[in-house]
Amino acid sequence: MGELMRRFWMPALLTQELEADGKPVRISLLGEKLVAFMDSEERIGLLDEHCPHRGTSLALGVNGECGLRCLFHGWKFDVTGQCVDTPAEPENSKLAGAMRVKAYPTRVAGGMVWTYMGPKEKEPAFPHFPWFDMPPGSCEAFKVIYECNYSQALEGAVDSSHAGILHRDSAWDQPAKWPHEKDLRPKLEVEFTRYGMRYCAVRNDGEDKHARMTQVPMPFWTFIPPDGQKAPEFRRNRRLVNAFVPRDDYTTWHIQFFYDPGQTISREHRMAEANTPHDAEFFKTNGIGVWYNQDREMMRTRNMSGIEGVALQDHAVSETMGRIADRTKEHLGRSDMAVVAFRRMMLRAVRKLQQTGELPEADQGGFDWNRITAETFLFSPDKKWQDIQPLDEDLQPAGAAAA
Protein backbone atom coordinates (compact mmCIF):
# COMPACT_ATOMS: atom_id res chain seq x y z
CA MET A 1 0.00 0.00 0.00
CA GLY A 2 2.90 2.32 0.67
CA GLU A 3 4.18 1.77 -2.87
CA LEU A 4 0.72 2.67 -4.15
CA MET A 5 0.66 5.89 -2.11
CA ARG A 6 4.01 6.90 -3.56
CA ARG A 7 2.57 7.01 -7.06
CA PHE A 8 0.41 10.05 -6.25
CA TRP A 9 1.17 13.68 -5.49
CA MET A 10 0.35 14.30 -1.85
CA PRO A 11 -0.01 17.39 0.37
CA ALA A 12 2.88 17.43 2.83
CA LEU A 13 2.90 20.63 4.91
CA LEU A 14 1.35 24.07 5.11
CA THR A 15 3.11 26.81 3.19
CA GLN A 16 2.87 28.99 6.29
CA GLU A 17 5.26 26.62 8.09
CA LEU A 18 8.16 27.78 5.89
CA GLU A 19 9.89 31.07 5.19
CA ALA A 20 12.92 31.97 3.12
CA ASP A 21 16.12 31.16 5.05
CA GLY A 22 13.89 30.28 8.00
CA LYS A 23 13.77 27.34 10.38
CA PRO A 24 13.78 23.90 8.70
CA VAL A 25 10.72 21.77 9.43
CA ARG A 26 10.88 18.11 10.37
CA ILE A 27 8.13 15.99 8.87
CA SER A 28 7.29 12.28 8.68
CA LEU A 29 5.65 10.94 5.52
CA LEU A 30 5.03 7.30 4.63
CA GLY A 31 7.32 6.27 7.48
CA GLU A 32 10.24 8.42 6.26
CA LYS A 33 11.79 11.15 8.35
CA LEU A 34 12.28 14.24 6.20
CA VAL A 35 13.20 17.89 6.54
CA ALA A 36 11.63 20.73 4.55
CA PHE A 37 13.15 24.17 4.03
CA MET A 38 12.68 27.27 1.89
CA ASP A 39 15.89 28.64 0.45
CA SER A 40 16.95 32.24 -0.18
CA GLU A 41 15.11 32.29 -3.53
CA GLU A 42 11.93 30.79 -2.02
CA ARG A 43 12.47 27.39 -3.59
CA ILE A 44 11.38 24.51 -1.36
CA GLY A 45 13.45 21.43 -0.64
CA LEU A 46 12.22 18.19 0.93
CA LEU A 47 15.20 16.08 1.94
CA ASP A 48 16.06 13.01 3.95
CA GLU A 49 16.44 14.37 7.46
CA HIS A 50 19.86 12.81 8.03
CA CYS A 51 23.09 14.14 6.58
CA PRO A 52 24.84 11.46 4.48
CA HIS A 53 28.14 12.30 6.19
CA ARG A 54 27.58 11.08 9.76
CA GLY A 55 23.79 11.04 10.05
CA THR A 56 23.18 14.26 11.98
CA SER A 57 19.71 15.76 11.56
CA LEU A 58 19.70 18.47 8.92
CA ALA A 59 16.82 20.07 10.82
CA LEU A 60 19.49 21.42 13.17
CA GLY A 61 21.25 23.07 10.26
CA VAL A 62 21.78 26.60 9.01
CA ASN A 63 19.39 27.66 6.24
CA GLY A 64 20.94 30.39 4.14
CA GLU A 65 22.63 31.32 0.88
CA CYS A 66 20.45 28.89 -1.12
CA GLY A 67 21.20 25.79 0.89
CA LEU A 68 20.85 23.88 4.15
CA ARG A 69 24.18 23.45 5.98
CA CYS A 70 24.67 20.58 8.43
CA LEU A 71 25.60 21.76 11.90
CA PHE A 72 28.22 19.02 12.44
CA HIS A 73 30.81 19.54 9.68
CA GLY A 74 29.13 22.16 7.49
CA TRP A 75 28.14 20.01 4.54
CA LYS A 76 25.65 22.07 2.55
CA PHE A 77 22.79 20.81 0.36
CA ASP A 78 20.58 22.63 -2.13
CA VAL A 79 16.87 21.94 -2.68
CA THR A 80 17.65 19.15 -5.15
CA GLY A 81 19.70 17.29 -2.52
CA GLN A 82 23.03 18.02 -4.19
CA CYS A 83 25.92 18.71 -1.82
CA VAL A 84 27.49 22.04 -2.80
CA ASP A 85 30.08 22.52 -0.04
CA THR A 86 32.21 20.42 2.32
CA PRO A 87 34.21 23.09 4.20
CA ALA A 88 36.12 20.65 6.44
CA GLU A 89 37.54 18.73 3.46
CA PRO A 90 40.71 19.71 1.51
CA GLU A 91 40.28 22.62 -0.89
CA ASN A 92 40.72 20.41 -3.96
CA SER A 93 38.32 17.72 -2.69
CA LYS A 94 35.74 16.42 -5.13
CA LEU A 95 33.66 14.86 -2.38
CA ALA A 96 30.88 17.47 -2.54
CA GLY A 97 30.18 16.77 -6.22
CA ALA A 98 29.79 13.07 -5.47
CA MET A 99 27.47 13.51 -2.49
CA ARG A 100 23.70 13.77 -2.58
CA VAL A 101 20.98 13.41 0.01
CA LYS A 102 17.67 11.92 -1.05
CA ALA A 103 15.30 14.70 -2.17
CA TYR A 104 11.71 14.68 -3.37
CA PRO A 105 10.18 17.14 -5.87
CA THR A 106 7.81 19.76 -4.48
CA ARG A 107 5.01 22.00 -5.72
CA VAL A 108 3.07 24.77 -3.98
CA ALA A 109 -0.71 25.07 -4.44
CA GLY A 110 -3.81 25.65 -2.31
CA GLY A 111 -1.87 26.73 0.76
CA MET A 112 0.12 23.49 0.85
CA VAL A 113 3.51 22.15 -0.18
CA TRP A 114 3.00 18.96 -2.21
CA THR A 115 5.44 16.17 -2.96
CA TYR A 116 5.79 13.06 -5.08
CA MET A 117 7.70 10.17 -3.46
CA GLY A 118 7.52 7.50 -6.14
CA PRO A 119 9.76 6.41 -9.03
CA LYS A 120 10.93 9.38 -11.07
CA GLU A 121 10.02 7.75 -14.35
CA LYS A 122 6.43 7.20 -13.11
CA GLU A 123 5.82 10.76 -11.89
CA PRO A 124 2.24 11.74 -12.84
CA ALA A 125 1.07 15.15 -13.94
CA PHE A 126 0.40 17.46 -11.03
CA PRO A 127 -3.35 17.58 -10.32
CA HIS A 128 -5.21 20.87 -10.64
CA PHE A 129 -7.90 20.79 -7.98
CA PRO A 130 -10.69 23.40 -8.09
CA TRP A 131 -9.79 24.98 -4.75
CA PHE A 132 -6.46 26.07 -6.22
CA ASP A 133 -8.36 28.74 -8.16
CA MET A 134 -10.46 30.16 -5.33
CA PRO A 135 -10.39 33.95 -4.80
CA PRO A 136 -8.07 35.12 -2.01
CA GLY A 137 -9.57 34.27 1.36
CA SER A 138 -12.07 31.75 -0.03
CA CYS A 139 -9.97 28.67 0.78
CA GLU A 140 -8.05 27.72 3.90
CA ALA A 141 -5.84 24.67 4.48
CA PHE A 142 -5.51 22.96 7.86
CA LYS A 143 -3.70 19.94 9.25
CA VAL A 144 -3.60 17.93 12.45
CA ILE A 145 -2.46 14.42 13.35
CA TYR A 146 -4.89 11.52 13.58
CA GLU A 147 -3.43 9.05 16.07
CA CYS A 148 -4.35 5.94 14.12
CA ASN A 149 -3.80 4.26 10.77
CA TYR A 150 -4.85 6.23 7.68
CA SER A 151 -7.43 3.67 6.57
CA GLN A 152 -9.60 3.70 9.66
CA ALA A 153 -9.42 7.51 9.73
CA LEU A 154 -10.61 7.65 6.11
CA GLU A 155 -13.28 5.00 6.69
CA GLY A 156 -14.96 7.35 9.15
CA ALA A 157 -15.31 9.94 6.40
CA VAL A 158 -16.90 7.48 3.94
CA ASP A 159 -19.45 6.33 6.51
CA SER A 160 -22.50 8.55 5.98
CA SER A 161 -24.76 6.49 8.23
CA HIS A 162 -23.02 7.68 11.38
CA ALA A 163 -23.76 11.36 10.74
CA GLY A 164 -27.16 11.43 12.42
CA ILE A 165 -25.86 9.65 15.50
CA LEU A 166 -22.27 10.67 16.26
CA HIS A 167 -22.80 14.22 14.99
CA ARG A 168 -26.35 14.59 16.33
CA ASP A 169 -26.92 18.22 17.27
CA SER A 170 -29.19 17.34 20.19
CA ALA A 171 -29.53 14.77 22.95
CA TRP A 172 -30.74 11.33 21.86
CA ASP A 173 -34.22 11.81 23.41
CA GLN A 174 -34.71 15.31 21.93
CA PRO A 175 -36.33 16.12 18.56
CA ALA A 176 -33.98 15.77 15.57
CA LYS A 177 -33.05 18.95 13.68
CA TRP A 178 -31.52 17.85 10.37
CA PRO A 179 -32.49 15.37 7.63
CA HIS A 180 -29.59 13.08 8.50
CA GLU A 181 -30.81 13.03 12.12
CA LYS A 182 -34.44 12.31 11.24
CA ASP A 183 -33.76 9.32 9.00
CA LEU A 184 -31.08 7.13 10.57
CA ARG A 185 -31.36 4.39 7.94
CA PRO A 186 -30.14 5.96 4.69
CA LYS A 187 -30.09 3.94 1.51
CA LEU A 188 -26.45 3.74 0.46
CA GLU A 189 -25.32 3.20 -3.12
CA VAL A 190 -21.72 3.03 -4.36
CA GLU A 191 -20.33 3.48 -7.86
CA PHE A 192 -16.73 2.78 -8.79
CA THR A 193 -15.15 5.38 -11.08
CA ARG A 194 -11.91 5.92 -12.97
CA TYR A 195 -10.62 8.15 -10.15
CA GLY A 196 -11.81 5.94 -7.28
CA MET A 197 -15.43 5.79 -6.22
CA ARG A 198 -18.42 7.87 -5.25
CA TYR A 199 -21.35 7.01 -3.03
CA CYS A 200 -24.70 8.51 -2.12
CA ALA A 201 -26.70 8.39 1.09
CA VAL A 202 -30.39 8.84 0.33
CA ARG A 203 -32.80 9.71 3.14
CA ASN A 204 -36.48 10.52 3.38
CA ASP A 205 -37.20 14.23 3.81
CA GLY A 206 -40.94 14.80 3.74
CA GLU A 207 -42.23 14.29 0.21
CA ASP A 208 -38.72 14.48 -1.24
CA LYS A 209 -35.61 12.37 -1.09
CA HIS A 210 -32.54 13.99 0.48
CA ALA A 211 -29.21 12.95 -1.02
CA ARG A 212 -25.62 13.51 0.06
CA MET A 213 -23.12 12.36 -2.55
CA THR A 214 -19.52 11.98 -1.43
CA GLN A 215 -16.51 11.55 -3.71
CA VAL A 216 -13.64 9.22 -2.73
CA PRO A 217 -10.72 9.71 -5.15
CA MET A 218 -7.75 7.42 -4.70
CA PRO A 219 -5.68 7.01 -2.71
CA PHE A 220 -6.71 8.93 0.45
CA TRP A 221 -9.21 11.65 -0.48
CA THR A 222 -12.79 12.36 0.54
CA PHE A 223 -14.76 15.25 -0.97
CA ILE A 224 -17.54 16.09 1.49
CA PRO A 225 -20.79 17.63 0.17
CA PRO A 226 -21.97 21.08 1.32
CA ASP A 227 -24.86 21.41 3.79
CA GLY A 228 -27.37 22.24 1.08
CA GLN A 229 -30.28 24.63 0.62
CA LYS A 230 -31.97 23.90 3.96
CA ALA A 231 -28.91 25.04 5.92
CA PRO A 232 -28.33 28.64 7.03
CA GLU A 233 -27.13 30.72 4.09
CA PHE A 234 -23.49 30.96 5.21
CA ARG A 235 -23.30 27.14 5.36
CA ARG A 236 -25.09 26.20 2.14
CA ASN A 237 -22.14 25.95 -0.21
CA ARG A 238 -19.18 25.52 2.12
CA ARG A 239 -17.09 22.61 0.91
CA LEU A 240 -14.64 20.38 2.67
CA VAL A 241 -11.97 18.12 1.18
CA ASN A 242 -10.02 15.69 3.36
CA ALA A 243 -6.67 14.08 2.63
CA PHE A 244 -5.71 11.29 5.03
CA VAL A 245 -2.00 11.07 4.28
CA PRO A 246 -0.10 8.29 6.06
CA ARG A 247 2.51 9.71 8.41
CA ASP A 248 3.53 6.17 9.31
CA ASP A 249 1.60 2.95 9.99
CA TYR A 250 0.12 4.31 13.21
CA THR A 251 -0.50 8.01 12.62
CA THR A 252 -2.03 10.06 9.83
CA TRP A 253 -1.86 13.63 8.59
CA HIS A 254 -5.47 14.80 8.52
CA ILE A 255 -5.29 17.61 5.97
CA GLN A 256 -8.37 19.66 5.17
CA PHE A 257 -9.13 22.19 2.47
CA PHE A 258 -12.15 24.26 3.50
CA TYR A 259 -13.53 26.55 0.82
CA ASP A 260 -16.47 28.52 -0.53
CA PRO A 261 -16.02 30.68 -3.65
CA GLY A 262 -18.89 32.92 -2.52
CA GLN A 263 -17.52 34.06 0.81
CA THR A 264 -14.35 34.60 2.83
CA ILE A 265 -13.45 31.70 5.07
CA SER A 266 -12.74 32.64 8.67
CA ARG A 267 -9.80 30.52 9.73
CA GLU A 268 -10.58 31.12 13.41
CA HIS A 269 -14.23 30.13 12.99
CA ARG A 270 -13.36 26.93 11.17
CA MET A 271 -10.76 25.97 13.78
CA ALA A 272 -13.37 26.48 16.49
CA GLU A 273 -15.89 24.31 14.57
CA ALA A 274 -13.40 21.47 14.17
CA ASN A 275 -12.12 21.82 17.75
CA THR A 276 -8.79 20.08 17.14
CA PRO A 277 -6.26 22.47 18.74
CA HIS A 278 -2.73 21.12 18.52
CA ASP A 279 0.79 21.63 19.74
CA ALA A 280 3.78 22.67 17.63
CA GLU A 281 4.11 19.10 16.29
CA PHE A 282 0.39 19.02 15.27
CA PHE A 283 -0.68 16.50 17.91
CA LYS A 284 -4.09 17.36 19.40
CA THR A 285 -4.03 18.86 22.88
CA ASN A 286 -7.60 17.68 23.57
CA GLY A 287 -7.25 14.15 22.19
CA ILE A 288 -7.24 10.67 23.63
CA GLY A 289 -4.97 11.65 26.53
CA VAL A 290 -7.76 13.77 28.04
CA TRP A 291 -10.53 11.56 26.60
CA TYR A 292 -11.54 14.29 24.16
CA ASN A 293 -12.89 16.40 27.06
CA GLN A 294 -16.13 14.44 26.82
CA ASP A 295 -18.88 16.08 28.88
CA ARG A 296 -21.57 13.71 30.19
CA GLU A 297 -23.90 16.55 31.15
CA MET A 298 -23.70 17.86 27.59
CA MET A 299 -24.73 14.40 26.35
CA ARG A 300 -27.96 14.62 28.35
CA THR A 301 -28.89 18.14 27.31
CA ARG A 302 -27.70 19.21 23.86
CA ASN A 303 -25.10 17.03 22.11
CA MET A 304 -25.31 13.26 22.01
CA SER A 305 -21.55 12.68 21.83
CA GLY A 306 -20.62 15.06 24.65
CA ILE A 307 -17.66 16.06 22.50
CA GLU A 308 -17.39 19.53 20.97
CA GLY A 309 -16.52 19.72 17.27
CA VAL A 310 -17.40 17.44 14.34
CA ALA A 311 -13.75 16.74 13.52
CA LEU A 312 -12.89 15.88 17.14
CA GLN A 313 -15.91 13.55 17.28
CA ASP A 314 -14.59 11.73 14.19
CA HIS A 315 -11.11 11.49 15.67
CA ALA A 316 -12.49 10.06 18.92
CA VAL A 317 -14.36 7.14 17.38
CA SER A 318 -11.51 6.22 15.02
CA GLU A 319 -8.61 6.58 17.45
CA THR A 320 -10.29 4.58 20.21
CA MET A 321 -10.42 1.58 17.86
CA GLY A 322 -6.68 1.29 18.46
CA ARG A 323 -3.78 2.59 16.40
CA ILE A 324 -4.48 -0.16 13.86
CA ALA A 325 -8.00 -1.52 14.22
CA ASP A 326 -8.36 -5.31 14.55
CA ARG A 327 -10.81 -5.90 11.72
CA THR A 328 -11.10 -9.61 12.53
CA LYS A 329 -13.36 -8.51 15.40
CA GLU A 330 -15.68 -6.38 13.27
CA HIS A 331 -19.29 -7.28 12.54
CA LEU A 332 -20.26 -5.19 9.54
CA GLY A 333 -23.79 -4.30 8.47
CA ARG A 334 -25.65 -2.76 5.56
CA SER A 335 -24.65 0.70 6.82
CA ASP A 336 -20.99 -0.17 6.13
CA MET A 337 -21.42 -0.56 2.37
CA ALA A 338 -19.15 2.37 1.45
CA VAL A 339 -16.48 1.24 3.91
CA VAL A 340 -16.41 -2.23 2.35
CA ALA A 341 -16.30 -0.71 -1.15
CA PHE A 342 -13.33 1.48 -0.18
CA ARG A 343 -11.39 -1.53 1.13
CA ARG A 344 -12.13 -3.55 -2.00
CA MET A 345 -11.08 -0.63 -4.21
CA MET A 346 -7.75 -0.20 -2.46
CA LEU A 347 -6.93 -3.92 -2.33
CA ARG A 348 -7.79 -4.29 -6.02
CA ALA A 349 -5.49 -1.37 -6.84
CA VAL A 350 -2.62 -2.84 -4.83
CA ARG A 351 -2.99 -6.21 -6.53
CA LYS A 352 -2.88 -4.55 -9.95
CA LEU A 353 0.24 -2.61 -8.98
CA GLN A 354 1.91 -5.81 -7.76
CA GLN A 355 0.99 -7.74 -10.89
CA THR A 356 1.58 -5.12 -13.59
CA GLY A 357 3.63 -2.33 -12.02
CA GLU A 358 0.89 0.09 -13.08
CA LEU A 359 -1.82 2.02 -11.29
CA PRO A 360 -5.51 1.54 -11.98
CA GLU A 361 -7.32 4.35 -13.79
CA ALA A 362 -6.57 6.86 -11.03
CA ASP A 363 -3.87 9.22 -12.29
CA GLN A 364 -4.66 12.50 -10.52
CA GLY A 365 -3.35 14.65 -13.33
CA GLY A 366 -5.57 13.06 -15.95
CA PHE A 367 -8.93 14.41 -14.76
CA ASP A 368 -10.84 17.66 -14.89
CA TRP A 369 -11.44 17.96 -11.16
CA ASN A 370 -14.09 20.64 -11.64
CA ARG A 371 -16.35 17.83 -12.82
CA ILE A 372 -15.79 15.69 -9.73
CA THR A 373 -17.80 17.38 -7.00
CA ALA A 374 -19.62 16.31 -3.87
CA GLU A 375 -23.21 17.54 -3.65
CA THR A 376 -26.28 17.72 -1.39
CA PHE A 377 -29.62 17.83 -3.19
CA LEU A 378 -33.33 16.97 -3.07
CA PHE A 379 -35.07 14.88 -5.70
CA SER A 380 -38.44 13.35 -6.41
CA PRO A 381 -39.12 9.77 -5.19
CA ASP A 382 -39.92 8.73 -8.76
CA LYS A 383 -36.34 9.41 -9.82
CA LYS A 384 -32.91 8.02 -9.01
CA TRP A 385 -30.14 10.14 -7.57
CA GLN A 386 -28.04 9.29 -10.63
CA ASP A 387 -30.62 11.13 -12.75
CA ILE A 388 -29.67 14.31 -10.90
CA GLN A 389 -25.93 13.61 -10.70
CA PRO A 390 -25.01 11.42 -13.69
CA LEU A 391 -21.49 10.08 -13.96
CA ASP A 392 -19.83 11.31 -17.13
CA GLU A 393 -19.08 8.51 -19.55
CA ASP A 394 -15.34 9.16 -19.60
CA LEU A 395 -15.21 8.89 -15.77
CA GLN A 396 -16.79 5.44 -15.74
CA PRO A 397 -14.36 2.56 -15.10
CA ALA A 398 -13.76 -0.07 -17.70
CA GLY A 399 -15.58 -3.24 -16.77
CA ALA A 400 -16.43 -2.32 -13.15
CA ALA A 401 -19.98 -2.42 -11.82
CA ALA A 402 -21.59 -0.65 -8.90
CA ALA A 403 -20.81 -2.16 -5.50
Quick one: pLDDT at residue 172? 87
Rounded distance between C-alpha atoms, residue 73 and residue 253, angstroms: 33
d(CA 183, CA 161): 9
Nearest to 172 by CA among 189, 184, 161: 184
Alpha carbons 186 and 335: distance in angstroms, whole number: 8
Asked if residues 250 and 149 have their Cβ atoms less than 8 Å apart, the reply is yes
Query: Do the beta carbons of residue 223 and residue 214 sit within 8 Å?
Result: yes
Tell me 62's DSSP state.
E
Peptide bond into 225 cis (omega under 30): no
CA 374 to chain centre: 15
Cα dihedral across residues 23, 25, 26, 32: positive or negative: negative
Tens of each residue's pLDDT in the chain, 403 residues? 999 999 999 999 999 999 999 999 999 999 999 999 999 999 999 999 999 999 999 999 999 999 999 999 999 999 999 999 999 999 999 999 999 999 999 999 999 999 999 999 999 999 999 999 998 899 999 999 999 999 999 999 999 999 999 999 888 888 887 778 888 999 999 999 999 999 999 999 889 999 999 999 999 999 999 987 766 666 778 899 999 999 999 999 999 999 998 889 899 989 999 999 999 999 999 999 999 999 999 999 988 999 999 999 999 999 999 999 999 999 999 999 999 999 999 999 999 999 999 887 777 778 899 999 999 999 999 999 999 999 998 898 875 444 4
Distances (CA, A) of 308 to 21, 161, 337: 39, 20, 28
Q: What pLDDT score was predicted for residue 402?
A: 45
CB 143 within 8 A of CB 282: yes
Measured between its terminal Cα atoms, the distance across the chain in Å is 22
CA distance 270 to 317: 21
The answer to whether residues 13 and 365 touch, using CB atoms and an 8 Å cutoff, is no
Task: Spell out the domains of the chain, with CATH numbers in brackets.
Answer: 2-122 (2.102.10.10), 130-395 (3.90.380.10)
Amino acid 401: pLDDT: 47
Cα separation, 239 vs 261, in Å, equals 9
* pLDDT value for 228: 73
State the pLDDT at residue 112. Answer: 98
Query: What is the structure's pLDDT at 403?
Result: 44
Classify burial at 154, counting beta carbons within 10 Å of its beta carbon; exposed 0-12, middle 13-18, buried 19 or more.
Answer: buried
Query: How many other CB atoms are found less than 10 A from the CB of residue 245?
Result: 23
Residue 231 has what pLDDT? Answer: 67
Q: What is the amino acid identity at position 401?
A: A
